[in-house]
Amino acid sequence: MASTSNATHAAVIDAVGTGTSQTADLHLMSLSNGSNTLGFAGTKGYAITTRGDAYSTAADQNDLVFLNANATAWREDFRIDSLTGRVGIGISAPTSALQVNGVVTATGFIGPVTSSSAGTAAGYTINSDSDSTGSDGGVNIQVRGATKLAITDGGNVGVGGEAAPISQLANTSANSADSTGTGIAGAGITWLTNAAGYVQSLTNSSTAGTANGLYVKTAGTAATNRILTLNAAGSDVMAVTGQGRVGIGTTNPAQLLSLSSASTNSTAIRLDNTDTGGRNFSINSTGSTSATGAGSFAIYDSVAAAFRLTINPTGNVGLGSMSPGTVAGLTIPSPALHLAADGTITALATEGSSILLDPRYKARSRGFGYISSSVYAETGGGNDRGQLILGAGGMVSGTQQLTKAVVIQDTGSVGIGTSAPSGLLDVKGLVQIGSNTATSSNFVVDPSLSSQGYVRITTDSSANYLQSGLAGTTGSGKDLRIGPALTTSPWMNFQASTGSVGIGTTVPMGKLDVVNSGPASIRIGGTSDTFLRMVASGNPSGSRVWDMRTDSTNSGNFYIAKTNDAEAATTSVPFLISTAGNVGLGTTAPSYKLHAMGSVYADTGFVGSSYSSPEGGSLRLLNPSKTGAIANDWTLFNMTGAYGNGLAFWRYFQNGTNAGPAMFIRDDGNVGIGISNTSLAGLQVATTVGNTVAMFGSGTAGISIVRDAPGIYHNSYWNGGPLFMG
């Protein structure tokens, strides 16, 4: 039925056609040309249509379709698929429950969901209300009716069903305390494991003591509470426990640092010094295929390809030897320790014990020295039991000769030049102090001073003297003093009661106390190396030997060095101050006021950069191995002025190109990728890979925002059912 009047609107209900053309239509049309004849010319309006079972196009059978006439042709705007119930807007074959081809703007209680129609998308905005103020609630993303992702009004994000996250990213709402009783910081990541009360957090907070660093917190300090575990190929290769212990090759470190491996060669720590003349050493616990044999402790010089120190499982020690053994052919006491000129120290199992000092032990044609406390057959017969002997020996006309220089008997008597001392000290031979005449002797024993006895070396009361009290003296009378005259204060005083030394004072307040009426100083100088050496526990070995030194080869640089032996050269320089005033930590050639080779950690403060300029303070991250047109220099700037106010991630290529900022975080929180003016949106992306603007997921699942045409974007591979935004 159709109206024949000359009206501008018409309503037509058609139920016509049979077979493959059968349709049922409702037309709402406008005849803009005043005609009363339906047709495309000048005809605009809508039609609601459905086709029958026998319609020629099977995909259109029984679908409910909304059509629009634009004066020249029909255009499909809306379809409900009769078989699947899917709804398509702007698309004739919807593949999901609701599929929209075009821009969607929703208003009302869910707030706007918009997409920019500019040539480059600004992204999407999801708001829980139409304004950005007040407590409007959060945004929840649900799967099968359950919340899986929640964003609170305060900006915290909860995952795994947590609707009230404690921190900026969390799977828990419980603010559990760590081992010190301190709660987790809000500006961080909080993760609750299956163990009750065991909380881990990752924090980088400008208000915390760990500012500008990664702060990992756990709730336990036991060996089973791991702060960090690294896994490779399914096996844990490194662990940091709650006790503060680090294990490499083991997850149960027994010490602060434990290394473990099943290597048949060795488990080793390598120390490299890349400075000119530096060497590479490794500390090894050897295995079955090692040249030293299994079970040895060894220090290996990688440059010389030689073992410098070896201690085998029986306790034998070799310096410069990887197989410490025995020395044969000696008729002196079999030495328990053999020090040879070629650097070898050989330990031997013996009946007694002795130390052999042998400069030519291989040829044995020259003399040697020894320290012995043992039973041995000396030339001419006889045994010495329970004595400590310092002696010398050598080969004379093919016969070995031994001479006892000093003998200390088990009674405490000491013999010099005699093996049978007749008193506590028995010297056979000349003891000379001073000149050859008795009247000029400078050795004085004076028991007349203050009724106490002294040993004093001087010429008279006005001359320089060295004095010490004898038995029976008390108090400071036992002190050893060096002075200009008996009537004046001594230059130096060795305090008998404490062992302390005073220079300019007789009452030293420490092991060494220097006092002067004017400025006091200690000067150490020389034509070559000048240094002050500190050795812990009186043991001149290992890393307990430290030097504060300058030397003539480094233009007067001051540095603190570590050595492996009290008589050896410097092996590493942890600290150096150059003549230019630069300070090096782990480097001997600092290029900056503070130049650290390795990690720098600030415990209760921060490491910062301050510079009043448009670029502001900066932090440079360099990788010299990157070459060509790639960024080997990333610099973080705190910018202002023409750059805008924010944090810029700036790139400099190795070929000299200034590539500009890759990302800019404005002070108001907006983030720009490939653009620094991010005032249009909270996240603005100005770069694409092909037509892909952004991707959230693994590359095969997730959300991929792909540009089809200006202002038109779609998700290229999401097929997991409805995608809720809001």
SS3 annotation, 254-283: CCCEEECCCCCCEEEEEEECCCCCCCEEEE
Lowest mean pLDDT among 93-102, 256-265, 580-589, 706-715: 706-715
Q: What is the pLDDT of residue 140?
A: 79
Distance from C-alpha of 61 to C-alpha of 206, rounded to nearest angstrom: 64
Mean pLDDT calculated for residue range 154-175: 78
Token pair belonging to 432: 């000379």
Q: What is the pLDDT of residue 361?
A: 44
Q: What is the pLDDT of residue 286?
A: 93
pLDDT tens digits for range 331-357 = 333 444 555 545 454 544 344 455 666
Binned at pLDDT 50, 70 and 90, residue 120 comes out as: very low
pLDDT of residue 281: 93
CB 64 within 8 A of CB 51: no
Q: Is the pLDDT of residue 227 over 80?
A: no
SS3 558: strand
* pTM of the complete model: 0.32
Examine the pLDDT at 524 and tell me if it is beyond 60. Answer: yes
Dihedral of CA 554/557/562/565: which sign? positive
206 or 588, higher pLDDT: 588
Q: Is 219 exposed, middle or buried (0-12, 13-18, 19+ CB in 10 A)?
A: buried
Mean pLDDT of 519-543: 69
| Res 330 pLDDT > 50 | no
| Least confident piece of the model among 150-154, 392-396, 425-429, 578-582 | 392-396
Query: Tell me, what amino acid is at 199?
Result: V
| Max mean pLDDT range (160-164, 204-208, 339-343, 403-407) | 403-407
Do residues 251 and 239 make contact, with C-beta atoms less than 8 angstroms apart? yes
CA 219 to chain centre: 22
Q: Give the type of residue at 556.
A: G
**Any idea how long the chain is?**
726
Token couple for 315 = 């306790």
Distance between CA atoms of residues 106 and 89, nearest Å: 15
Choice among 30-44, 207-221, 561-575, 623-637 with the minimum mean pLDDT? 30-44
581: left (phi over 0), alpha (psi -120 to 50) or beta: left
Are 484 and 464 within 8 A, CB to CB?
yes
Rounded to the nearest 5°, which phi and psi values hold at 535?
Answer: -120, 120
Percent above pLDDT 70 for the chain: 56
| Confidence at residue 36, expressed as pLDDT on a 0 to 100 scale | 47
pLDDT: is 313 or 679 the higher one? 313
Give the whole-number percent of the chain exceeding pLDDT 90: 7
Cα–Cα separations (whole angstroms), residue 531 to 67, 534, 562: 95, 10, 12
Token pair belonging to 131: 């304004």
Q: What are 471's two structure tokens? A: 């038995």
Domain ranges of the chain: 9-100, 351-427, 442-514, 530-596, 618-687
Instruction: Assess whether pLDDT exceeds 50 at residue 4.
Output: no
At residue 154, the 3 state secondary structure works out as: coil
With contact defined as beta carbons under 8 Å apart, do 116 and 122 qualify?
yes
Is the confidence at residue 230, as pLDDT, over 80?
Answer: yes
Radius of gyration in angstroms for the set of CA atoms belonging to the chain, rounded to a whole number? 45
pLDDT value of residue 43: 67
Q: Residue 540's pLDDT is what?
A: 54
- What does DSSP say about strands 199-203 and 368-373: parallel, antiparallel, or unpaired? unpaired
Average pLDDT value for residue range 255-266:
91
CB atoms within 10 A of CB 536: 11
Diameter of the chain by CA atoms? 159
CB 296 within 8 Å of CB 288? no
pLDDT at 71: 64
Residue 549 has pLDDT above 60, yes or no: yes
Per-residue pLDDT of 383-431, as tens digits, reads 556 678 887 776 666 666 677 888 888 788 898 888 888 888 887 765 5
